[in-house]
Amino acid sequence: MLKLDDPLLWGNEAAEDEDPQVLSSYFTAQSDFDAFFDPALRLRIARARKGMGKSALLRECEQRAREDRNAVVVSLRGADLVAQRPIEYLTPDEHLHDWEQRICMCINRHLGAEIGLALSDDKLTLVETAELAGYKQRNLISSLVARLNGNLGALQIRPLEASNHPQLLKRIVDEGDWTVWVFVDDIDATFINTREERLRLSTFFSACRDLASAFKGVNVRTCIRTDVWTSIRNVDEALDKVDQYIFDIHWSNRQLGHMLCDRIRSYQLRCGFEEAAQPADDVHPKAAEFLPLRNAFAAKFPWGRTRAPAYRVLHAYASGRPRWAMQ
């Protein structure tokens, strides 16, 4: 049997800290996840309690998006979108505008880092934006301008700066050259149930909806805790239009069993135990479904007046949450 206390066996509890290749090796898909991975659907929001795998789903979708060489992947956390000025007293419309500016600015920086030779004002602005933010090394022209500025005295050649990031992004993506995936995790990490916080967070999801619908080729994927969504949904009627883009993550006991098997099988393959990870030819398909669990757990455990498989017991004790099951 495997050592249950081996930290490598079950993977990192925080999916965002896991190696992307390792995460993909044990990621357990559900049919409900298909729409989340579908690039034809511009906006999808995963809703679940803590420990249900929201971050893992985002990371797996991000990894798949990166396989497309023509795609630009923008991976953000809530802290990356923190405003640089106080926003407690903004109106809903001002909050919405503020979110759109900040999200589009992040997208533009990543686009600028991908542009090689900029032959238009818009693309040159993107490149300069990326360089100023440290997303990209200076190109030859920027380096020459920087050297010239040191010898021109009071006369300065200043880089182009975007004053309206949404309009700049729209002109760029309307050219049809880009497929952009935006992933935002932990947007509700520091949520406190106050009027200001509810307004701030509710307008974020409205901004995501507006961006996904207004900009062709821009796909947005994010997530939120169930309790937080309930708090903001009850006070913002505008979120009624966002409900259609939300799906809830659930794990049945059998799905949790498959997830445990996938993690054990991935561990065995990573450690070079390929033969142990494959069922024998004479094993009945029904018995082989949860066969990897036999390497870590007994086949049955006392459960009331009967005996139950390990995955069913773990599902009950973990309240259906994968992270708690791992712990």
Q: Closest Cα partner for 322 from 265, 228, 252?
A: 252
Report the predicted TM-score, pTM, of the whole model to 2 decimal places. 0.82
Sign of CA dihedral 258, 261, 267, 268: negative
According to the model, what pLDDT value does residue 37 have?
Answer: 96
Which pairing describes strands 300-303 and 306-309: parallel, antiparallel, or unpaired? antiparallel
CA distance 270 to 264: 10
Whose structure tokens read 């561990």? 267
According to the model, what pLDDT value does residue 70 have?
Answer: 85
Q: Closest Cα partner for 231 from 202, 261, 260, 190?
A: 202
Count Cβ neighbours within 10 Å for each residue of 219-257 and write b for 16 or more, e otherwise: bbbbbbbeebbebbbeebeebeebeebbeebebeeebbb
CA distance 252 to 223: 20
Q: Closest Cα partner for 247 from 73, 51, 34, 74?
A: 34
CA distance 312 to 303: 10
According to the model, what pLDDT value does residue 279 have?
Answer: 54
Report the chain's C-alpha Rg in angstroms.
24
According to the model, what pLDDT value does residue 155 have?
Answer: 42
According to the model, what pLDDT value does residue 54 have?
Answer: 97
pLDDT along the chain (327 residues), means of 10: 79 91 94 94 96 96 92 91 65 89 84 56 51 46 44 45 65 73 94 92 95 90 97 91 96 95 91 64 62 87 94 95 92
Could you give all domains of the chain from N- to C-terminal order, each with its CATH number? 38-248 (3.40.50), 253-326 (no CATH)
Beta bridge partners of 75: 183
According to the model, what pLDDT value does residue 154 have?
Answer: 47
At a CB cut-off of 8 Å and minimum separation 6, what does 242 contact? 45, 205, 206, 208, 209
